[in-house]
Amino acid sequence: MSTPFLSRNIYIFLFSLLGLVYIIGLFVPLMDNDSAHHANIALHMYLTGDYVSLVDHAGDYLDKPHLHFWLCAMSYKIFGVTSFAYKLPSFLFTILGTYSVYRLGKSLYNNEVGKLAALIIASSFAYLLANNDVRMDAILTASIALATWQLVDFIQNKKIPAVIGAALGLALGFSTKGHIAVFVPAVAALFYILYRKDWNLFLNWKWLLLLLLFAVFIAPVVYCYYLQYNLHPEIMVRGKDHINGVKFILLNQSVERFSGGMGSDAKNDYFFFLHSFLWAFAPWSILAYMALAGRLRFFLHRKDEWLTTGVFIVILLIVSFSGFKLPHYLNIVFPATAVMAAACIISKQANTQWSKTIFIVQLVLIILLLLVITAINGWAFPVKSILIIAGVVLLLAVVFYFIKSDVYNRLQKAVAASVATMALCFFLLNSNFYPKLLTYQGGNQLALSTKGKADPADVYFWKDMQSSSFSFYTASLRQEFADSVLQTGKKVWLLFDIRNEEEIKKGGYLIGQQFVVLDYEITKLDLKFVNPEKREKQCTKMVLAEIGR
C-alpha cells in the first residue's frame, strides 16, 4: 500500500480550517448584485406562495431556471428570511460537490488523487467566493461534479445506479442554470470514452434510460415555464411578448447567453478565460496550467486520461468566444481541473526538481496573497477586533509552520501552506473585510436602522430606484411610488437616492422625518473608494423619508 500524500489528520485539520471560514461566510450580508437579486426572487415565492412564477423587482424574470430559488424559499420557511437561510443550500451543495470531486478523482485515478483534488477545489478562490457572494455557481459546480463522477462510474461499470445518479446530477444542474450543466459532463464523458476506446458503449441501451430519467427530473422546471409564459402570451420581457417558455428553457437560454443576447460583458476579450482563471482558481492556477501543458505534450500518447484535459480545453474555447463572459462562469471547469492538478502532484512526487519548482511557485503566491490581504485588512479596512486578530495570529502560525517544518517534503509544504493561506485570507475577508465593506451598502444598512421605526408595508421606491438588499432585509416586496398612494391616508415612506431629492421637491412633495445612510456600489470597487481618506466622498446617500403633499 502506497504512503498517503498527506496524513488523515492533516486532511482533517485543513478541511476543518476551510470549514470554519465557509461557516463564517454564511452570516455575511448579501451584496446588491445577483446575490440579493436572486434572494428576492426566492422571497417573492416565499411571501406570495407562488412557486411557479419567477418574478423580480422588474416583473417576470426570464433567465435562470427554478431550483436555486426553490431551495432558498424552502430555507426561508425553516430559518426565516436571513443571510444564513439564503446561503445554506449552496453550502450544502458545496459539500456534495467537494465529495463528488473526491469520488471523481478516485474513479479516474486512486484514493490519494481524489482526496487531494477535493482539498484543492475546496480551497480555490472562486469556489470559496461562491459561498459568500452566492449565486447559482455553487449548486451548478456541485451538480457538474456529481454528474461527471456518476458518468465515469457508468462508463467503467455499466451499472444502473450510476445511470440514475448521472441523470439526477444533470437534472439538478440543468434546473439551476440550463444546458451548460449538461454540456460539461457530456464533454467529460465523451473524452473519457474516446480515451478508453470503448466504442460499444455508444450502443448501450442504458443511455436511453438516462435520457428518460433526465427528462422526468427536469419536467417540473419545464412545466413551470409553460405555466408562466406559454399560457400567458401577454407577458412582456425585454420588449417581447408571446414568449414560448418551454422553447426558451430547452434551447434559447443557452443560445442567447453564448451569442451575447443577454449582455456583452467582455465580448471581445478573447483571453478572458486565461487571465481570469489565474485569480479564480488561485492559489492553484499556475499549477493547473503546468499540469495542462504536460498533458497536451503527451495527449495523443494516452499517457493520462483525456477527460480532465478535454473539459479544460473545450470550456476555455467556449468561454473565450462567448458573447457574454463573467468570471464566475469559470467555476464549471473546477472539478475536472482539480483532479488534473491533483493527479499531476501525486504523479510527480519523486521528481525533485519539479517539486522544488512547485514549492517556489506556491511560496511566491502565498507571499503575494498575504501582502494583498494585509493591505486590505491593515490599511483599507483595518482589523480592530481582538478575536479576529487572535484568529489571524493562529492561522498565520499554521502557514509558517507548514512552510518551515522539516516533517514534510516540498510538495506537501506547498499544498498544506497554500490551503492554510486561503483559510487565512477568507477568514479575514469573511470576518472583517466584507462586513465592513457592506456598511457602505445603503440597502441593508437602511433596513437595519429603520427596523421597528418604519413599516416595510408602507415603503415605496422612487421611480427606477431599487435596492434588493433593503427589500430582502425587510422581508418585503418592492412597491413603486405613485401619487395615488398618498390618497390612502396612511403614513407613506419613500426610498430614494439623495440625488433625486430636488426632483421630488419640485414634484410638490413634502419630505418629513428621514433616515439617511451612505451608499456605494460595493461590487465595483475602485482605488478612491478603497482609500479610507477618500471613501466617503465617493459615496452617495440613500434616504428613507416620510412623504406627503
Cell of 498: 439623495
- Going by the DSSP 8-state scheme, the letter that residue 230 receives in this structure is I
Confidence at residue 329, expressed as pLDDT on a 0 to 100 scale? 84
274 within domain boundaries: yes
Q: Given a cut of 60, is residue 266 above it in pLDDT?
A: no
22 within domain boundaries: no
State the Cα–Cα distance between residues 139 and 320, nearest whole angstrom. Answer: 23
110-155 per-position pLDDT tens digit: 999 999 999 999 999 999 999 999 999 999 999 999 999 999 999 9
24 within domain boundaries: no
183-197 per-position pLDDT tens digit: 999 999 999 999 999
6-51 per-position pLDDT tens digit: 999 999 999 999 999 999 999 999 999 889 999 999 999 999 999 9
Cell of 122: 475546496
State the Cα–Cα distance between residues 313 and 281, nearest whole angstrom. Answer: 15
Same domain assignment for residues 173 and 188: yes
Confidence of residue 2 (pLDDT cuts 50, 70, 90): low
Confidence of residue 1 (pLDDT cuts 50, 70, 90): very low
Same domain assignment for residues 174 and 286: yes
476-510 per-position pLDDT tens digit: 999 999 988 988 778 999 999 999 999 999 999 99
Confidence of residue 236 (pLDDT cuts 50, 70, 90): very high
Give me the residues paired with residue 55 across strands.
Answer: 60
25 within domain boundaries: no
94 within domain boundaries: yes
Same domain assignment for residues 317 and 339: yes
Please name which of 259, 253, 182, 267 lies closest in space to residue 218, comparing C-alpha atoms. 182
State the Cα–Cα distance between residues 187 and 108, nearest whole angstrom. Answer: 15
Tell me the DSSP string of 443-464.
HHHHHHHTTTTS-GGGEEE-TT
11 within domain boundaries: no
334-364 per-position pLDDT tens digit: 999 999 999 999 999 989 999 999 999 999 9
Helices then strands, counting H and E runs in the chain, come out as 24, 6
Confidence of residue 322 (pLDDT cuts 50, 70, 90): confident
Confidence at residue 216, expressed as pLDDT on a 0 to 100 scale? 98
What is the sign of the dihedral through the CA atoms of 453, 459, 461 and 466?
positive
Same domain assignment for residues 278 and 237: yes
Confidence at residue 75, expressed as pLDDT on a 0 to 100 scale? 98
Q: What is the mean pLDDT of the chain?
A: 94
Tell me the DSSP string of 293-354.
HHHHHTGGGTSS-SHHHHHHHHHHHHHHT-SS--GGGGGGGHHHHHHHHHHHHHHTTT-HHH
Q: Among 307-311, 398-402, 443-447, 520-524, where is mean pLDDT lowest? A: 520-524
Same domain assignment for residues 271 and 410: no
Confidence at residue 259, expressed as pLDDT on a 0 to 100 scale? 58
Same domain assignment for residues 389 and 423: yes
Distances (CA, A) of 375 to 160, 190, 539: 53, 46, 21
45-102 per-position pLDDT tens digit: 999 999 999 999 889 999 999 999 999 999 999 999 999 999 999 999 999 999 999 9
Query: Region 375-400: what's the mean pLDDT?
Result: 96
490: Cβ contacts below 8 Å, ≥ 6 apart: 458
Domain's final residue, options 421, 439, 457: 439
Domain's final residue, options 405, 439, 473: 439
State the Cα–Cα distance between residues 306 and 295, nearest whole angstrom. Answer: 9
Q: How many CB atoms lie within 10 A of CB 242?
A: 11
Tracing cell 475577508 back to the chain, one arrives at 429
> Pairing mode, if any, of strands 540-548 and 510-519?
antiparallel
Tracing cell 451575447 back to the chain, one arrives at 260
- Going by the DSSP 8-state scheme, the letter that residue 480 receives in this structure is B
Tracing cell 456605494 back to the chain, one arrives at 520
Same domain assignment for residues 306 and 418: no
164-189 per-position pLDDT tens digit: 999 999 999 999 999 999 999 999 99
468 within domain boundaries: yes
Same domain assignment for residues 411 and 460: no
| Angle between helix 111-122 and 8-25 (nearest 10) | 30
Does the bond joining 283 to the residue before it have cis omega, within 30 degrees of 0? yes
Same domain assignment for residues 448 and 414: no
Vertex 299, ends 295 and 302: CA angle to 5°?
Answer: 110
Same domain assignment for residues 407 and 446: no
Domain's final residue, options 321, 347, 373: 347
**Which residue range is the domain that position 149 belongs to?**
31-347
Same domain assignment for residues 335 and 431: no
Distance of CA 92 to the CA centre of its chain: 13
State the Cα–Cα distance between residues 75 and 371, nearest whole angstrom. Answer: 38
Distance of CA 398 to the CA centre of its chain: 27
Domains held by the chain: number: 3
Say if residues 197 and 224 touch (Cβ distance below 8 Å): no
23 within domain boundaries: no
Report how far apart the first and last C-alpha atoms of the chain are (Å, whole number).
82
- Going by the DSSP 8-state scheme, the letter that residue 284 receives in this structure is S
Same domain assignment for residues 469 and 392: no
Please name which of 482, 493, 507 lies closest in space to residue 543, comparing C-alpha atoms. 493
